[in-house]
């Protein structure tokens, strides 16, 4: 159960990073590097990244973000499967 909560917290953090980057983009402020956002998504942050992309309309036009989000989503699903199975 703790592992699920950690995974949930991580996805919330990823969501916040994407939302903050969207805010910074629209206000012409210093941005979060794309490689940070991509890495977060791939490292089990796919759910948070996809939700942020859809809800705050950020990075949805770049194919490599969609690819990273799908990989991250698959990682999330595999982790959840093994956590619940375990």
**DSSP output for 44-63:** T-HHHHHHHHHHTT-S-S-H
pLDDT tens, N- to C-terminus, the chain (86 residues): 899 999 999 999 999 999 999 999 999 999 999 999 999 999 999 999 999 999 999 999 999 999 999 999 999 999 999 999 97
Which letter does DSSP use for residue 86 in this model? -
For position 70, what pLDDT does the model report? 97
For position 86, what pLDDT does the model report? 78
CA distances to 14, 30, 33, 55 from 10, in Å: 6, 23, 18, 18
Other CB atoms within 10 Å distance of the CB of residue 85: 6
Which residues fall within 8 angstroms of residue 20, CB to CB, at 6 or more apart? Answer: 32
For position 1, what pLDDT does the model report? 86
Label residue 72 exposed, middle or buried (CB < 10 Å: 0-12, 13-18, 19+). buried
Is pTM beyond 0.85 here?
Answer: yes
For position 8, what pLDDT does the model report? 98
């Amino acid at each position: 159960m703790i592992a699920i909560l950690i995974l949930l917290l991580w996805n919330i953090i990823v969501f916040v990073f994407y939302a903050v980057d969207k805010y910074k983009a629209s206000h012409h402020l210093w941005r979060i590097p794309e490689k940070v956002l991509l890495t977060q998504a791939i490292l089990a942050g796919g759910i948070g990244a996809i939700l942020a992309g859809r809800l705050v309309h950020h990075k949805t036009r770049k194919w490599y973000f969609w690819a990273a989000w799908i990989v991250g989503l698959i990682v999330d699903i595999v982790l959840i499967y093994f956590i619940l199975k375990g």
